[in-house]
Amino acid sequence: MKIEFLSKHYVLKDYMKDMVAKKIEKLDKFFEDDTTIKVLFKHANEVFTLELTIIDDIVMRSEVSSDDMAKNIDIALPKLEKQIIKHRKKLLSKSKKMRLKDESSFAPFVQSQPEEKKSGVVRKKNYELVPMTVEDAIEELELVGHSFYMFFNKSTRKVNVLYTRADGDYGLIVGEYPQ
């Protein structure tokens, strides 16, 4: 497992890197050697935030904020481990043929690049669209814990956005090109 350490307005000490790396090693049993985990340390307004993002065939994320970075580590890792176990159980219960994908469509890789523009765009993400069914997209949405998920619909061959509605159900936006 590859670990990438990032910090934003936080002075990252070697002992903190070593402590986090040692605790993350416990997750090795779930992943291959080429799996990447990004660890982001942030400090803003007297609040310390720790973000853990695992990039494998899916993206799993855990974010914790408090007044102590060491506490954040002890809270974020169990959250992430629960997500991993939940995802593994879902994969085992599903049919193998639904999860088969060609090697080039693995690992939707999210890359953040902050930009400063007058247009109001403060962050840009490049995202590789993976062909999947709506059911697969619902699972991915639940795993990343966001309010929406963009994907390439395998059956309609169009870009879709799946989102969580206020009533707890899901909505689907289908991208159309003007004629």
Question: Is it the case that residue 34 has pLDDT exceeding 80?
Answer: no
Inter-residue contact 149 to 164 (CB < 8 Å): no
pLDDT at position 94: 59
How would DSSP label each residue in 15-31?
HHHHHHHHHHGGGGGGS
pLDDT at position 91: 66
- pLDDT tens for each residue of 50-97: 888 887 777 788 888 888 888 888 888 888 888 878 877 776 665 444
C-alpha–C-alpha distance, residues 67 and 22, integer Å: 22
Mean pLDDT, to the nearest integer, of 109-136?
A: 71
pLDDT at position 100: 45
- pLDDT tens for each residue of 159-169: 999 999 989 89
Question: Is it the case that residue 173 has pLDDT exceeding 90?
Answer: yes
Pick from 141, 136, 143: nearest CA to 164? 141
Mean pLDDT, to the nearest integer, of 20-24?
A: 85
Helix, strand, or coil (residue 162): strand
